[in-house]
Amino acid sequence: MSYLGVSKSATGRRWVGLDATQERLAEAIAQSGQPHPLARHLARRGILPEDVADFLVPRLRDLLPDPMRLCDMEAAAERLARAAKAGERVAIFADYDVDGGASAALLVWWLRALGQTATIYVPDRIEEGYGPNAAAIGRLATDHDLIICVDCGTLSHDALAAAAGTDVVVLDHHLGGETLPPALAVVNPNRQDEDGSLGHLCAAAVVFLTLVETNRRRRAKGLSQPNLMEMLDLVGLATVADVAPLIGVNRALVQQGLKVLRGRGRPGLAALADVARMDGPPTSYHLGYLLGPRINAGGRVGAADLGARLLATDDPAEAAALAERLDRLNDERRAIESRVTDAARAQAEARIDAGGALAWAAGDGWHPGVVGIVASRLKEALNRPAVVIGMREDGLGQGSARSVAGVDLGAAVQRLAAEGWLVKGGGHRMAAGLTVEAERVEGAMARLDELLARQGAGESGLRELIVDATLMPGAATRDLVTALECAGPFGQGAAAPRFALPDLCAVHTQAVGDGHLKLTLSGNGTRIDAIAFRATAEGIAGAIERASGAPIHVAGRLEVNRWQGRESVQLKVEDVALASEADRS
């Protein structure tokens, strides 16, 4: 049954509320003293009444897994401990995204606390592509005693073989193959011989666990241990930016990381927060939408190592200069992304109209630094896995792919590579990268479409919008928002509470920015300010205009708007429906 009778909203979704079991659970939680809106949200997430207290205050000491659960952890921790004690020359080969940069920075800060320095190497996205390459590894092996590959390396058999004579440790989270590369240790919760229980960790979390175990071994020998709790801002940032699900220990890592970030002790993150004009206490939103994209901008359209250098520096002046440069690159990235998105969406929609289960597009000269973002845009807009490929002058296409819940994209791309359709490809359940020859693009995408269709891609039909509870504007108070924030942090796998506000009238609307809409909504004698991002593209603005002042149902999330030192609660609108049409549905 549709929630509030909304069977098809302005964005083409059916609103769905709690089922009968969740309703009973919500009542039980509310009886324990929790606000009713929070109780319903916790019930939707399956939290039992007896677990509510621990859920609202996640403790890292209770949730952090024993690092020794991971294969090769002993060898990795022992080797790192030996390198630290002996003052060996350490090189860190990192991926060019936030997770790779944060992973590298973790190791740099840990070694720096012991009076040592490390070399960071980040490959150029265009010239070298993702992951280790033989030339770079060979050069690093010449001048270093230990090479640590972070957020990459699990499938780099040939490249790591070039490190002959130098130990290599891989700390990664991408899907592994049937065989492991020639390395002293490969610590990866997504190796094929792991049980998958820690598969939700990002690479920075794997690095953090490795440092926990290394500290433990130093402690046993009476040696000093760097304070890892002070480094959780890097782990929290990487977890959110890499879209790791905020469940289990990930939730505690992000929550504690936000507390560390609040102290502004990391020069790079403090400088980046300033150029991003971050207002108020940091949240997972700031990590994912303000800081993360700017750190990624270096790897996308600028120098690949800028993000890692920003996170690793302890010099405020260098941090300020790097942050300004990344902010400018992020503006450039957005302009490029907008152009590619328009072209890619037209292609993808045509293929879906022709019966495809996969949303894919390819174009000459599309910048490889934005294809991943555009794939995410297509996935969200079209509700199916998406692949976007930028064709290069050398006859190869470099692509990124993003998936929807329930469809294992990484495994499908890996199979595609094993079958010979791709030059290379890999990733994890929700994201993957690939390189494909121009003449094989059509065939490779047809095969990928077939593999994903078998998993149910493209069969979801009308999308659903999950609504936690009904709320009137007068109930949207600062105290309620504070109570709801205790269920955070929110992000992938842990959606923020969503409320439906029924029978409201839009008494004021104003177009702002690039297709956004500011509103004042009125109902039951009270008003609430609201904002709808990308309202034109989503059809929300058109639906409000057609209502012509008639009542509408509005769905969205509550947030605190800070402006010139003042705070107020506003609704972030995600969907609307004409009340009259909903009542007839």
Task: Work out the average pLDDT over 547-561.
Answer: 93
User: Distance of alpha carbon 301 from its chain centroid, rounded?
Assistant: 19
pLDDT of 583 > 80? The answer is: no
Is residue 129 predicted with pLDDT exceeding 70? yes
DSSP string, 449-497: HHHHHHTTTT---SEEEE--EE--GGG--HHHHHHHHTT---BTTBPPP
Q: How many Cβ atoms sit within 10 Å of the Cβ of residue 584?
A: 9
The pair phi, psi for residue 149, each rounded to 5°, is -95, 125
How confident is the model over 386-421, as pLDDT tens digits?
999 999 999 999 999 999 888 999 999 999 999 999
Percent pLDDT > 90 in the chain is 86
Is the pLDDT at 537 greater than 80? The verdict is: no
**585: pLDDT strictly greater than 50:** no
Which pLDDT tens digit goes with each residue over 196-213? 999 999 999 999 999 999
Q: Is the pLDDT of residue 539 over 90?
A: no
Report pLDDT for 240. Answer: 96
Looking at the predicted structure, is the pLDDT value of residue 571 above 90? Answer: yes
The number of angstroms, rounded, from the C-alpha of 271 to the middle of its chain's C-alpha atoms is 22
Please compute the mean of the pLDDT values over residues 222-227 and round it to a whole number.
Answer: 97
Instruction: Give the pLDDT band (50/70/90) at residue 561.
Output: confident
Report whether pLDDT(120) > 90. Answer: yes
pTM: 0.89
**What is the pLDDT at residue 567?**
87
Instruction: Assign 309 to helix, strand or coil.
Output: helix
- For 84, residues 6+ apart whose C-beta sits below 8 A from its C-beta are 111, 114, 116, 214, 218
How sure is the predictor about 429, in pLDDT bands with cuts at 50, 70 and 90?
Answer: confident
Q: Assess whether pLDDT exceeds 50 at residue 243.
A: yes
Q: Is the predicted pLDDT of residue 159 greater than 60, yes or no? A: yes
Lay out the sheet containing 146-150: strands in order across.
Answer: 118-121, 90-94, 146-150, 167-171, 185-187
Q: Is the pLDDT of residue 127 over 90?
A: no
Query: How confident is the model over 107-125, as a mean pLDDT?
Result: 97
Tell me what pLDDT residue 273 has. Answer: 97
Q: How far is CA 33 from CA 30, 210, 479, in A?
A: 5, 40, 15
Q: For residue 297, which of 316, 276, 317 has the smallest C-alpha distance?
A: 276
- State the Cα–Cα distance between residues 302 and 408, nearest whole angstrom: 31
Whether the CB-CB separation of 91 and 147 falls below 8 Å is answered with yes
pLDDT of 37 over the 60 cut? yes
Contact residues for 29 (Cβ-Cβ < 8 A; gap 6+): 38, 39, 42, 43, 47, 49, 52
Mean pLDDT of all residues in 103-128: 96
Residue found under tokens 């102290």: 263
Kindly report the average pLDDT of the chain as a whole number: 94
**pLDDT at residue 469 greater than cutoff 90:** yes
pLDDT band at 461 (very low <50, low <70, confident <90, very high): low
Once rounded to an integer, what is the mean pLDDT over residues 122-141?
A: 93
Report the pLDDT averaged over residues 458-476. 86
pLDDT for 56-68, tens place per residue? 999 999 999 999 9
Does 124 score more than 50 pLDDT? yes
Percentage of the chain modeled with pLDDT above 70: 99
